[in-house]
Amino acid sequence: MKKPIYLLATLTGVAAFLTAVSSYRTPEPVHFGSEKHELDSTVLDITTVAQNLNAPWDMAWGPDNMLWFTEQDGKVSKLNPKTGQITELLQIKDYYRKRLGLMSMVLHPDWKTHPEVFINYSHIQPDSVIVSKLVRYTYNGKILTDPVLIYQIPGYLGHNGSRLVISKDRKILWSAGDLKQKKTIHDPAFANGKVLRLNLDGTIPADNPHPGSPAWSMGFRVPQGLTYTKNGNLFIAEHGDATDDEVNLVTKGASYGWPYIAGFSDLPEEKTYSETHESVYPVKAWTPTIAPAGMDYYDGNIPEWQNALLLSTLKDQSLRVLKLDRKQEKVLSEEIVFSQKYGRLRDVCVSPSGDIYISTSNRDWNPPANFPIKTDDRIIRISKSGTIPKNKRIAKTKEKANAETAASLYASFCESCHKADGGGVPGSFPSLVTSSRLAGNKEILIPFLLKGSQSASGEGMPAFGFLTDSQLSEIVSYARSNFSKNTENVSAGEIGEIRAKSK
Ligand code: HEC
């Protein structure tokens, strides 16, 4: 009898000891659900590490091994990725959140001597003019304090970028959207449609290509991704209009074509423009568009993804893995993961240990069908959890682009604005269900689709002249039969005739 009693006593003692010390131990890793995902040879663990956030825009790995992040409603916080604990560091008061709000953030690389954070956000002045502010804050060990406005550029409701990075030579690089002001994109006197380069105090570096101007390179539309690779190459990711989302390699003084060239110089007007203007073409372009957002360089412990740009997408709701060549100048291949799983993905951040963090943006102004879910927005960690034994490996079939069905054409080219149910977004994108133009005369509808338009709200309908007659015919038939009272088809032949007439 003695033995069991002794054992019991010992166990109780251990239990009591554990209870006594448990509050001093690091808490168990928090995760709100975790799953596995297999690559060719690597097993990934995918864990939600933060939830109930409000449209996070930017994530940065801190020198304290915390994940710092911004939310569009003016908050900067840091997340302990091990425990899930979130500490709020700053609530900006003068941000303006309509579509945009608080956006990007970058931490000073010389943190010990300069515990500073640079933050970009939209602000509306008393005269109703929207501006985009670059403000430096200092971390006092607890919160971010002492804001200093170091630079300010015109802002807008959309097309306002942005991302911030700091170069090895300690300059701040800032991607700024075109603000829909096409005429000034190539003018160094204006900040729109550019990568801007500033000293860390907001002054203009003496070696910028246009004296006195922050312009470093120009010809961008809506650039929301900016990252350095290991060897110091700078890549930018931007939204195209109806076609040609792009990733570009950014170099000093170069011009990237927009608004004269979308993607490559392949249309007649584009070719004419390139006869007299030198432009740099993308290392990767996408039509149908995917809405690329945050981008980070990966060289961590997931072998399949080494030496790649990781790009998060909004419209396509996926993570794109763009493998680079050795010189980190060209994209060799693309893999698409997590399609439609977590909704819109605004940013991606790689930790020094090779873990990847992605953040959802389902509580921004343009949520997709079936989102937000209750726990949105989320930050999700992707980490290597094991290796598949050699004899158990099966080459995974990569996710492929959809076959071109009428439904997939509508999803690729129309759904991001007019939505899957045709209902649109009130105030921005009209409903197709109640649209008299969709139901009306094809001689008016087709030229409208070919040429696009600019609505009173300032939100444009892109020109779809680049689609073939049969693609347009499929789309019109699909939209009419699903949303409209007039279900009459318009054949490819009819579209061809109307196109010829309207030229
Ligand atoms: C980037 C957003 C966007 C995309 C993508 C888009 N549209 Fe539109 N669409 C608009 C806007 C904005 C308007 C309002 C334009 C106006 O009133 O001049 C509009 C208007 C329309 C109308 C007229 C609605 C009315 O008021 O009667 C039709 C029809 C239409 N779009 C069809 C399409 C089809 C078909 C596609 C896909 C091939 C498409 N749109 C893709 C933004 C978009």
Question: Which has the minimum average pLDDT: 129-143, 246-260, 298-312, 463-477?
Answer: 463-477
By CB atoms closer than 10 A (0-12, 13-18, 19+), residue 38 is: middle
What are the angstrom distances between the C-alpha of 174 and each of 119, 134, 184, 287?
A: 11, 9, 17, 26
Q: Using the 8-state DSSP alphabet, how is residue 88 labeled?
A: E
Q: Is the CB of 487 under 6 A from ligand 1?
A: no
pLDDT of residue 456: 65
3-class DSSP state of 482? helix
SS3 content of the chain, % helix, strand, coil (to 5): 20, 35, 50
Domain boundaries defined on the chain: 34-392, 406-502
Rounded to a whole number of angstroms, the CA Rg of the chain reads 25
Q: How many angstroms separate the CA atoms of 54 and 321, rounded? A: 26
> Would the pTM of this model clear 0.85, i.e. be above it?
no
Tell me which residue has tokens 């696009």: 452
Atom 10 (ligand 1) nearest CA? 461
Q: Is the CB of 358 under 6 A from ligand 1?
A: no
Residue 434 CA to ligand 1 center (angstroms) comes to 12
3-class DSSP state of 90? strand
Tens digit of each residue's pLDDT (9 = 90 or more) over 87-114: 999 999 999 998 889 999 999 999 999 9
Closest ligand 1 atom, residue 440 Cα: 27
Residue 461 CA to ligand 1 center (angstroms) comes to 5
Q: Which CATH superfamily is domain 34-392 in?
A: TolB, C-terminal domain (2.120.10.30)
Contact 214, 197 (CB under 8 A): yes
Contact 218, 193 (CB under 8 A): yes
Tens digit of each residue's pLDDT (9 = 90 or more) over 33-66: 788 999 989 999 999 999 999 999 999 999 999 9
Residue 207 CA to ligand 1 center (angstroms) comes to 44
Closest ligand 1 atom, residue 479 Cα: 35
Q: Is the CB of 436 under 6 A from ligand 1?
A: yes
Q: Cα 472 vs. chain centroid, distance in angstroms?
A: 28
By CB atoms closer than 10 A (0-12, 13-18, 19+), residue 64 is: exposed
pLDDT at 302 > cutoff 90: yes
Q: How confident is the model at residue 3 (pLDDT cuts 50, 70, 90)?
A: very low
User: What's the topology of domain 406-502?
Assistant: Cytochrome Bc1 Complex; Chain D, domain 2 (1.10.760)
Q: How many angstroms separate the CA atoms of 347 and 357, rounded? A: 8
- Virtual torsion, Cα 308, 105, 132, 181, nearest 10 deg: 0
Question: Which has the minimum average pLDDT: 163-167, 214-218, 307-311, 491-495?
Answer: 491-495
Token representation of residue 406: 């009428």
pLDDT > 70 fraction of the chain, expressed in percent and rounded: 91
Tell me which residue has tokens 């072998």: 303
What are the angstrom distances between the C-alpha of 327 and each of 4, 249, 301, 330, 332?
A: 68, 12, 20, 8, 11
pLDDT at 471 > cutoff 70: yes
pLDDT of residue 382: 97
Q: Is the CB of 431 under 6 A from ligand 1?
A: no
pLDDT of residue 240: 94
Do the domains 406-502 and 34-392 match in fold?
A: no
- Read off the amino acid at residue 190: F
More confident residue, 428 or 189: 189
pLDDT of residue 407: 85
Q: What's the whole-number average pLDDT of the chain?
A: 90
pLDDT > 90 fraction of the chain, expressed in percent and rounded: 78
Closest ligand 1 atom, residue 476 Cα: 35
Q: Is the CB of 441 under 6 A from ligand 1?
A: no
Residue from 244, 290, 461 whose mutation best tests the ligand 1 pocket (most atoms within 8 A of CB) = 461
Q: How confident is the model at residue 459 (pLDDT cuts 50, 70, 90)?
A: confident
Q: Is the CB of 255 under 6 A from ligand 1?
A: no
pLDDT of residue 184: 97
Closest ligand 1 atom, residue 467 Cα: 38
Q: How many angstroms separate the CA atoms of 204 and 202, rounded? A: 7
Name, in order, each residue with C-beta under 8 angstroms of 269's C-beta and a sequence gap of 6 or more.
260
Token representation of residue 395: 């080459």
Atom 24 (ligand 1) nearest CA? 435
Q: Is the CB of 182 under 6 A from ligand 1?
A: no
Tens digit of each residue's pLDDT (9 = 90 or more) over 383-402: 999 999 988 887 665 544 44
Q: Is the CB of 461 under 6 A from ligand 1?
A: yes
pLDDT at 7 > cutoff 50: no
